[in-house]
Amino acid sequence: MSKSNAPLIEVRDLVKNFGPVIALNGVSLSVNAGEVLCLLGDNGAGKSTLIKTLSGVHKPSQGDFLVDGEKIAFESPRDALNAGIATVYQDLAMIPLMSITRNFFMGREPLKRVGPLKFMDMGFADKVAREEMVRIGIDIRNPQQAVGTLSGGERQCVAIARAVYFGAKVLILDEPTSALGVRQTSMVLKYIFQVRQKGLGVIFITHNVRHAHAVGDRFTVLNRGKTLGTYAKSEIELDDLQNLMAGGRELQDLSAELSGTV
Amino acid sequence: MSAEVKSDERLGQESTLRHLLSKPEFGALAGTILVFLFFGMTAQGSGMFAADGILNWTTVSAQLMILAVGAALLMISGEFDLSLGSMIGFAGMMIAIPTIYFGVPVWLSVVLAFAGALGIGFLNGLIVVRTGLPSFIVTLASLFILRGLTIALSILFANRTIVGGVREAAEGTFVGWLFGGKVGGAFFVFLAEQGIINKLPNGAPSVPGIPMVIVWAVVIAILAGIVLSRTHYGNWIFASGGDAKAARNVGVPVNAVKISMFMLTAFCATVYAACQVFEFGSAAADRGLLKEFEAIIAAVIGGCLLTGGYGSVIGACLGALIFGVVQIGILFTGINNDWFRVFLGVMLLFAVLFNNFVRRRVTGER
Ligand SMILES: Nc1ncnc2c1ncn2[C@@H]1O[C@H](COP(=O)(O)OP(=O)(O)O)[C@@H](O)[C@H]1O
Ligand SMILES: [Mg+2]
């Protein structure tokens, strides 16, 4: 890990505009080595936009982005991957027509030299894709099979296995368990735990309080493009977490409202 | 963590047929077999399967193959190039006019023609990726611009739209041989001596050698096939056409890939043009008319999806072969040539329906 005690990733007062739309309006967060940061917030709060900025898809409009304590500006997702930041996007970034192996290594193809030429090492790629899928609890019949033939949950597992395989420093997961069954979900949570033990930093977005509480060390709450605050696990109860998920007090108000009407 | 692999009962159950069906070139392979069976029966004794007959349809297929391979790779990367045919006319004139009217050495004209074509391919690609407009529209514009330019510039510089005399200018030069020459002459003399192939009345073998256009087709097909299926760049080509956004999110340089594929089709068009110019000894402003459609049809018959992300080089080659065999076979069997178009249309329709079916199988759509 980095010699200094600087966080693996830190952003300060990050702003992201899409033309007139202000998706992020002053977001600050940090992730340390060996820590799981849960990113909470309602739909449209800007969580996906934030992690896409961290993974090089979007460029921030304003604000600082530091990796290992040094300012950085990613030109493309490739730069982020090279810096050891791997992401499971909410829409997975999987191509249905391509095989599992080709998807798994898309953009990061393993090469083997033959004389002066370099070819894609298909044998190695198939082997790794299959092994990594087994590790996540899915025995794919054939790594050459198109991703389109997999179920939603299986696709999600391919995306997660891929990010875990390539994430050397930070793993970012945007609602990774939304399409998963019980068994795969617990597998993913175990994974997050393991990755953390290895000293990586994890950013985990979920709408499930119990999942967040089970693996999270700290919780950063996002509301309408702004960070409301960051709480350590010791500071917070499951119930409060539930409220924070919805981006503040709204849920309590709602339950008060409901109990009022009943 | 339980890393133990239980042998899945569903594993290894995939039948050979299902495996074959999931290959893009399956339809084209079946089509090729059918076409050969058909002409094998109907064109018997017509000379279609004698040495010179074989050379005839092989040459026609090879010419189209050069274009189809380029079109297929571009289509797999998610784009079209409708200016392919116009590019052929343009590149031909770029070779002929400087050579004949400005005394530029033949080799230099050829180099300039390739450079110009690659530049135009680059521009096509750049406009498409920068504007996000469908390549269909952008290259439709290039189709007219290039064809118009070819005719206008030909008249401006040469005062005609057919420029001859290139054969004489290229006599004995390396480039003349590279595009218009033949290889294996001695081998065919030997075959004729052995009585394996026929001799012409003057004693020369009925086939004087393999035209370089066939060599080009084979070399381009092999290289493109290797790049597409065996290199990381091939993976990027599939990814760019399969879903450009997803590909970008994992770091594939989609724009560069697409632009390079536009340059590849321009390159293929120029190879085709050069082979024609040095074979006929002339360039004409209307060369390559409608070739863009033939190339796209061959690629689609070969299993490429119009929507991108799926296809193969071998399929495109088989598509071109079917095209050539039917075109020439119809001449040999004396079937009215109008039937060629009917056949082509029907074939295309079947290919698209079949590809659609395959796509649904592959992507699991219902
Ligand atoms: N590419 C884009 N162009 C314009 N607006 C966008 C874009 N991406 C996201 N937004 C907007 O930014 C806001 C935050 O979206 P998002 O980050 O997806 O929220 P979340 O993931 O928290 O549900 C939304 O209002 C959305 O419409
Ligand atoms: Mg989201």
Return the DSSP state at B83: T
Q: Print the SS3 string covering B146-214.
A: HHHHHHHHHHHHHCCCEECCHHHHHCCCHHHHHHHCEECHHHHHHHHHCCCCCECCCCCECCCCEEHHH
pTM metric for this prediction: 0.91
- Listed in sequence order, the residues at least 6 apart from B189 whose beta carbon sits closer than 8 Å to its beta carbon are B204, B205
What is the C-alpha separation between B114 and B270, in angstroms, rounded? 6
* Domain residue ranges of chain A, discontinuous segments joined by +: 9-95+151-257, 98-145
Which residue's alpha carbon is nearest to atom 4 within ligand 1? Answer: A18
Chain A residues within 8 A of B238 when measuring between CB atoms: 95, 97-98, 102
Chain-chain contact of B250 with A108 (C-beta, under 8 angstroms):
yes
CA distance B337 to chain A (A): 38
pLDDT of residue B268: 98
Q: What is the pLDDT of residues B139-159, one digit of tens each?
A: 999 999 999 999 999 999 999
> What is the topology classification, in CATH, of domain B27-35+50-353?
ABC transporter involved in vitamin B12 uptake, BtuC (1.10.3470)
Does the CB atom of residue A91 touch ligand 1 within 6 A? no
Q: What is the pLDDT of residues B162-179, one digit of tens each?
A: 999 998 999 889 999 999
Q: Which atom of ligand 1 is nearest to the CA of A222?
A: 22
pLDDT of residue A253: 60
Does the CB atom of residue A258 touch ligand 1 within 6 A? no
Provide the residue-wise pLDDT of chain B in tens; the chain has 366 residues. 344 444 444 444 556 776 777 788 888 898 899 999 999 988 888 888 988 899 999 999 999 999 999 999 999 999 999 999 999 999 999 999 999 999 999 999 999 999 999 999 999 999 999 999 999 999 999 999 999 999 999 999 999 999 999 989 998 899 999 999 999 888 888 888 888 888 888 888 888 899 999 999 999 999 999 999 999 999 999 999 999 999 999 999 999 999 999 999 999 999 999 999 999 999 999 999 999 999 999 999 999 999 999 999 999 999 999 999 998 998 888 888 888 888 888 888 888 888 888 778 777 664
How many angstroms from the chain centroid is the CA of residue B291?
Answer: 9
**Residue reference for tokens 């590019």:** B87
What is the C-alpha separation between A158 and A220, in angstroms, rounded? 27
Mean pLDDT of A203-217: 90
CATH of domain A9-95+151-257: 3.40.50.300
Per-residue CA distances from B152 to A2, B101, B146, B156, B166 (Å): 65, 16, 10, 6, 20
- Listed in sequence order, the residues at least 6 apart from A180 whose beta carbon sits closer than 8 Å to its beta carbon are A153, A156, A157, A188
Does the CB atom of residue A47 touch ligand 1 within 6 A? yes
pLDDT of residue B5: 44
Ligand 1: centre distance to CA A224 (Å): 10
CA distance A230 to chain B (A): 28
Is the CB of A112 inside 8 Å of chain B's CB atoms?
Answer: no
Return the DSSP state at B343: H
Percentage of residues in chain A having pLDDT higher than 70 = 92
- Looking at per-residue confidence, does B274 or A153 come out higher? B274
User: Integer distance in angstroms from the first to the last C-alpha of chain A?
Assistant: 55
Query: Is B145 exposed, middle or buried (CB count within 10 Å of its CB: 0-12, 13-18, 19+)?
Result: middle
Q: Which atom of ligand 1 is nearest to the CA of A45?
A: 22
- Residue A207: pLDDT band (50, 70, 90) is confident
pLDDT of residue A256: 61
What is the C-alpha separation between B97 and B290, in angstroms, rounded? 23
Chain A residues within 8 A of B227 when measuring between CB atoms: none
Residue of B nearest to A107 (CA): B252
pLDDT of residue B11: 46
Q: What is the pLDDT of residues A31-71, one digit of tens each?
A: 999 999 999 888 889 999 999 999 999 999 999 999 999 99
pLDDT of residue B206: 83
* pLDDT, averaged across chain A: 88
pLDDT of residue B334: 83
pLDDT of residue B25: 87
